[in-house]
Copies of this chain bind each other. A is one copy, B any other.
Amino acid sequence: MVPRFAGFSTFARLPTIDQVPTWDIAVVGIPFDGGTTYRPGARFGPSAVRQGSRLLRPYHPELATLPFEGGQVVDAGDITCSPFDIETAVQQIEDGANELLAGGGRLVAIGGDHTVALPLLRATAKRHGPLALVHFDAHLDTWDTYFGQRFTHGTPFRRAWEEGLLLRDHSAHVGLHGPLYSAHDLVDDAAMGFLQISSTDVASHGVEATVARLLERAGSSPLYVSVDIDVLDPAHAPGTGTPEAGGLTSRELLGLVRGLAPASIVGADVVEVAPAYDHAEITAIAAAHVLYDLVTLMARDLGG
């Protein structure tokens, strides 16, 4: 018996990928934050979330599931990529994800900034075809370029749309809050087929009704879930790079994620945890719980 504060730090104290012969679901870190426009530091996200996941126990009561039984879940460590060159890093992440996915398993990634969603979507779509997307975020992340750079943490879903990785009208942003550059941001985004659900909408209509809209959106398509931790209010997630007041509570976020149980999640990420701005690990813990829920949903889907 090992106390939860002891031993090497892997996600939820799972075995590493080297310690098992095969695996079904892998949690993988992508410590890249070169696409950050404001407070950097998400490169330390994977190690912080691993440390913040030590308390996670093996039974999920709301979903009545033992996610680590049945299929094999592992911690695949971190995908290595350049801290200096975004294009190179995006390619390295895509290659790393492809290599992992070659075995037929599914990935839940820990960012890193939101730039990493693009190569993950590429690798996931390569295996599953165009994807439905549920995207939790304060921001749209469908901007075009910034300082001439096409790959940043504000652009992954525009790039993904342009590259045909997303199914039309099967994608949604949830938890939007904070000012934008212009009204065009919303128009352009809608033109890419995104449903826009704000944080205020969640408060007004409730978790259950929002889940229904998301499930309708996802339909029976293979679903990718991308969670920018700044979808939470800064009270719940101070440790992030572009915080905006007025976000979701962690209870709402967990409720929304769990509500996706009927869908088939083929890939997921939780990004933008910047531990230097965290306090008492509360952001890392929230992220770890979201990851745990995503793994549990995948485990149920695989076990079905």
| Chain A residues engaging chain B, CB cutoff 8 angstroms | 1-10, 16, 29, 31, 33-41, 43-44, 46-47, 50-51, 54-62, 64, 66, 77-78, 80, 82-86, 146-149, 152, 176-183, 185-186, 198-200, 203, 207, 233-236, 238-239, 242-247, 249-251, 254-255, 276-282, 285-286, 288-290, 292
Residue of B6, B37, B243, B279 touching A31 (CB-CB under 8 A): B6
Known contacts A41-B41, A46-B6: A250-B246 contact under CB 8 Å: yes
Nearest neighbor of A35 in chain B, beta-carbon distance: B84
B59 and A181 form a contact (CB under 8 A) = yes
B61 and A186 form a contact (CB under 8 A) = yes
Q: Which residues of B contact A249 (CB under 8 A)?
A: 233, 235, 249
CB distance from A165 to the nearest CB of B (A): 22
CB distance from A211 to the nearest CB of B (A): 13
Complex A-B, nearest 7 residue pairs according to Cβ-Cβ distance, in ascending order: A238-B280, A40-B40, A276-B276, A234-B282, A245-B289, A277-B280, A57-B179
Known contacts A8-B10, A58-B179: A203-B251 contact under CB 8 Å: yes
A148 and B179 form a contact (CB under 8 A) = no
Q: Give bound CA distance, A1 to B234, whole Å.
A: 27
Some 8 contacts from A to B, beta carbons below 8 A apart, are: A6-B29, A38-B55, A84-B147, A234-B280, A238-B279, A243-B280, A245-B290, A246-B251
Q: Give bound CA distance, A37 to B282, whole Å.
A: 18
Counting chain B CB atoms within 10 Å of each CB, which of A29, A35, A36, A198 scores highest?
A36
B242 and A77 form a contact (CB under 8 A) = no
A280 and B239 form a contact (CB under 8 A) = yes
Known contacts A243-B285, A279-B238: A59-B179 contact under CB 8 Å: yes
Given contacts A5-B43, A55-B244, 5 further A-B contacts (CB under 8 A): A38-B55, A41-B276, A51-B51, A55-B178, A277-B280
A85 and B149 form a contact (CB under 8 A) = yes
Residue of B43, B62, B285 touching A3 (CB-CB under 8 A): B43
Counting chain B CB atoms within 10 Å of each CB, which of A31, A59, A186, A292 scores highest?
A59
B1 and A147 form a contact (CB under 8 A) = yes
Q: Give bound CA distance, A10 to B9, whole Å.
A: 9
Residue of B16, B41, B282 touching A8 (CB-CB under 8 A): B16
Q: Which residues of B contact A36 (CB under 8 A)?
A: 83
B41 and A39 form a contact (CB under 8 A) = yes
Q: Give bound CA distance, A148 to B55, whole Å.
A: 19
